[in-house]
Structure 1
Amino acid sequence: MPHKDLIDRLEAEFLAHDDGGDASHDINHARRVMRAALRIAAAEGGGDEGVIIAAAYLHDWVNLPKNDPNRSRASALSADAARPILAALGFAPDRVEAACHAILTHSFSANIPPRTLEARALQDADRLEALGAIGLARVFAIAGQLGSSLFDGDDPFAENRPLDDRRYAVDHFEVKLLRLPDTMQTKAGHAMAEERAEVMRRFLHSLAEELGHTMPWRA
């Protein structure tokens, strides 16, 4: 199937399924992940573009909130849900399994190593969404959904208290986000992650200056 036809059918499937309740995992997220994953795969030697495209649109099919006790199972549930969709799209069994492996292993919380270029590209592309300008928007949007404070007004950079990113959004930068570049699976993904992490560091330096503090994390 030509890529345009595949994308059109996947977009129709996605929009029919999406309830519009999570701007961090909407159709635009899927499109960005697809573009980034294709770019990473191309830089790393190619891969099956159809598998990457399908996995990008279906990787969050079962989307559970970050505070849901079953969050770590979301990627496995998404992979299971993707199988009949992929079969209906005409994917051969081996390509169904390739896409489902990428979906299964993309998740940070699932902690399952990706074995293929397609899976590594998807995992890196999805993690890039947590970095840069998009990542900044998402971290505070999610904090609002979870009822977290923006930061601790007395100690915004946790210099004299334990980090607590469930309570304070800014703590999440040091707990996870600034560490993401070191988790990238590909050279291309790592380079892109470092560029986006620098956007976040500049933001944190500006925030620290406005608050009259020095930003101590990975400066």
Structure 2
Amino acid sequence: MRLFGNGARMDLQHWQAQFENWLKNHHQHQDAAHDVCHFRRVWATAQKLAADDDVDMLVILTACYFHDIVSLAKNHPQRQRSSILAAEETRRLLREEFVQFPAEKIEAVCHAIAAHSFSAQIDPLTTEAKIVQDADRLEALGAIGLARVFAVSGALGVALFDGEDPFAQHRPLDDKSYALDHFQTKLLKLPQTMQTARGKQLAQHNAQFLVEFMAKLSAELAGENEGVDHKVIDAFSPAG
């Protein structure tokens, strides 16, 4: 972690306060999955992932706080360009709204933002970008990920699951119609996309939480309210 003395710490705190104050006035109406609390959590996770690396923490902080400054809905036709648009908007904001921000760091911030998205399929080329990508993807797993997927699906009017075939054993996966399908189309694949060793470890652990939820759901749908469906655990547990 580069320059983590008292001066650097104060500099990060200064910029974090500046970003939070700006977002409080300009980013109040985002959905619960992409609000300021999400940015704070991504930053907290990124600090853990960066603990042993020689990285620019101001680049990481800034990317964490602005990576979803443009966040198109999952069903938007331009969804794949969302992170690119966020990077472009962040470049403008840093130049026009945060004129004291170091100009030489802006492009590194914008690359980390553009590369964070799963749907954009942009390779992260810097360690900072890899850390931001992992930190954001960890938000899609574990208890927070479980809450977020159903919050977003509910806002889009997507059903919880297919009552006849909840785990898509005899039909194509369709996460535009069923929230539970998103576990298989994306969430359970995330551990294999992680860029850092610590990120992959955390992703595997938190993906297992989602599998255990699926196993509990399967048991309850079968009328068993006290156990779990071990066949679901065997079928969906992430590879080590």
Deviation at 1:93, TM superposition (A): 2.7
Matched with 2:75 is: 67
Residue 27 (structure 1) aligned with residue 36 (structure 2) = yes
Aligned pairs for 1:47-58 within 5 A: 47-58=55-66
Q: Which of the residues 178, 192, 196 maps onto 1:168?
A: 178
1:4 aligns with 2:22: no
Residue 144 of structure 1 aligns to a residue whose secondary structure is: helix
CA distance in 2, matches of 1:139, 1:129: 10
Large movers: runs of 4+ above 4 Å: none
Number of residue pairs aligned between Structure 1 and Structure 2: 218
| CA-to-aligned-CA distance 1:128-165 (integer Å, 9 cap, x gap) | 11100000001111111111111111111111111111
For each residue in 1:149-201, what CA deviation from the matched residue of structure 2 results, as whole angstroms up to 9, or x when unmatched?
11111111111111111111111111111110000011111011111111111
Are 2:177 and 1:159 aligned? no
Within 2, Cα distance between the matches of 1:187 and 1:90? 34
1:124 to 111, 134, 146: 134
| Structure 1 residue matching 2:122: 3-state secondary structure | coil
> 5+ residue gaps in structure 1?
none
CA-to-aligned-CA distance 1:71-124 (integer Å, 9 cap, x gap): 111111111111233232523332111111101111111110000011000000
Structure-2 change in CA distance of 1:89 and 1:5 (3 Å): farther
Counterpart of 2:121 in structure 1 is: 111
1:14 to 13, 19, 23: 23
Code of the residue aligned with 1:192 in structure 2: it is L
Q: Please identify, of 48-57 and 82-91, the stretch whose mean Cα deviation from structure 2 is larger.
A: 82-91
Task: Please give the alpha-carbon distance, in whole angstroms, between the structure 1 residues aligned to 2:199 and 2:38.
Answer: 17
1:178 paired to 2:188 = yes
Q: Which amino acid aligns with 2:24?
A: L
Conserved 8 A contact 1:3-1:50: yes
SS at match of 1:2: helix
Aligned residues: CA RMSD: 1.5
Aligned amino acid, residue 199 of structure 1: F
CA distance in 2, matches of 1:64, 1:126: 16
Distance 1:54 1:148 in 2: 33
Which SS does the other structure have where 2:236 is aligned? coil
- Separation in 2 of the partners of 1:183 and 1:148? 26
Q: Would you say 1:218 and 2:227 are equivalent positions? A: no
**Structure 2 CA distance, aligned partners of 1:86 and 1:118?**
18
What is the aligned counterpart of 1:79 among 67, 87, 98? 87
Deviation at 1:21, TM superposition (A): 3.6
Larger Rg: 2
Once residues 171 and 117 of structure 2 are traced to their aligned partners in structure 1, the CA distance between those partners, rounded to angstroms, is: 29
Letter in 2 for 1:169: A
The TM-score with structure 2 as length reference comes to 0.86
Secondary structure, in 3 states, of the residue corresponding to 1:83? helix
* Higher relative contact order (Cα pairs below 8 Å, separated by 6+ residues): 1
